Amino acid sequence: MPEGKIIKALSGFYYVLYDERLIQCRGRGVFRKNKISPLVGDEVVFQAENDQEGYILEIKERRNELIRPPIANVDRAFLVFSAVEPDFSTVLLDRFLVLVEFNHIEPIICITKMDLTNSAQKQTIEEYAKQYRAAGYEVILTSSETEAGIELLYPHLEAKISVFAGQSGVGKSSLLNALRPDLELKTNDISSHLGRGKHTTRHVELIEVGNGLVADTPGFSSLEFTNIEAEDLTLCFPELHKASENCKFRGCLHISEPKCGVKQAVDSEEIPHYRYEHYVDFLQEIKDRKPRY
C-alpha cells in the first residue's frame, strides 16, 4: 500500500502528498470508532481509488502533536520575538521554549525588527542572543524590512515541518512574506493561505517555504504547563540540565537542596540569573497547579 503525508485538511477530506501528487482521501470509520483523527503532518498508509481519490487506512506513530491548529510530527518551531514594538521578553520566550522542548520540537529563536533598535537596544539584544546561544539554542537576528538575516533561516526550513510561533505583532507574517513574497500575507491578519481566516477555521494546511513545509500558528492552545511535572522541568532548560549532572542528590529540584550543581552554576554566572529565576517561577506554577483526576 502507498504511504504519504497529509499536508491539508478541509471539511472532512485529507489531502495526502504522494509522489508529487495530492490525493484527496477520507478517513476510514475505524478512526472515528477509536476516537483517532488524522492530522496534518501525519504519515499515513492509504488506498487509492484512482489517481485523485482514496481512503486512509493507517496512521503511522506520531513523534508529537500540537493542539491549535491540530498538526503532527513538527520538527522545528521558529519562536519569533521582536526586539522592540513589542519589547523583547525573556520570560515569554522561556515559556515558549519550555513548551517546545517538552514536545520534543527543536526551537529556533528568531528576533525580528532589528532595524528599529537604537544602539543601546541592539547591544542588549545581542547580549541576550549570546546568552541563549551559550545555552545551546540557535538564535537568528532579522529584519523583514531590510531582509537582514532572512537568508539564515532557509537552511533550518529544509525538508522539515516547521511552525512559526510567538505573540501577535512581532512580525510573523512579515517574516513569512520575506521568505516567500508570493504569499502576500497581510500583517496582523493571517490570510486563508494558512488556514486561519474567519471562514477557514477548519482548514489546516502546510505550505512550502524554502524547501520545507510551514504552518503559521501559535502552536499551543495555551501557554500553561498543563502536562509538565516538576521533575521534568529541568529537562526543558538545557543548560540547567547539563549543570544538574553536578548535583549531589538525584531528583534535585535546584531550590533548597545542598550541593546543587545548578545553583553553583548560577552563582558563578555560567547560567544567567533570569533563566534560573524563570525556572523557579515555572516550578512554583507547576507545584501550585490543581491536581487532575
For 73-96, what is the mean pLDDT?
Answer: 95
pLDDT the model gives residue 134: 97
Strands 161-165 and 76-82: parallel
pLDDT the model gives residue 196: 41
Statement to judge: residues 89 and 210 lie in one domain: yes
Q: Is the dihedral of CA 180, 184, 190, 194 positive or negative?
A: negative
Structural domain contains residue 114: yes
Statement to judge: residues 37 and 151 lie in one domain: no
pLDDT the model gives residue 34: 80
Three-state DSSP at 114 gives helix
pLDDT the model gives residue 47: 94
pLDDT the model gives residue 228: 95
Statement to judge: residues 195 and 83 lie in one domain: yes
For 20-47, what is the mean pLDDT?
Answer: 89
- CA-CA-CA-CA torsion for 64, 221, 95, 210, nearest 10 degrees? 60
Statement to judge: residues 87 and 212 lie in one domain: yes
Q: For residue 173, is pLDDT > 60?
A: yes
Statement to judge: residues 116 and 137 lie in one domain: yes
Distance CA 86, CA 244 (A): 34
- pLDDT tens digits for range 240-263: 999 999 999 999 999 999 999 999
Statement to judge: residues 36 and 78 lie in one domain: no
Q: How many domains does the chain have?
A: 3
Q: For residue 190, is pLDDT > 50?
A: no
Distance CA 263, CA 270 (A): 10
Statement to judge: residues 86 and 203 lie in one domain: yes
Three-state DSSP at 88 gives coil
Statement to judge: residues 209 and 135 lie in one domain: yes
Statement to judge: residues 197 and 122 lie in one domain: yes
pLDDT the model gives residue 192: 43
Statement to judge: residues 212 and 238 lie in one domain: no
Q: Which of 216, 242, 266 is the last residue of a domain?
A: 216
Q: What CATH number did the domain enclosing 34 receive?
A: 2.40.50.140
Statement to judge: residues 181 and 80 lie in one domain: yes
Distances (CA, A) of 202 to 39, 45, 69, 274: 12, 23, 9, 40
- pLDDT tens digits for range 111-128: 999 999 999 999 999 999
pTM, to two decimals? 0.88
Q: For residue 194, is pLDDT > 50?
A: no
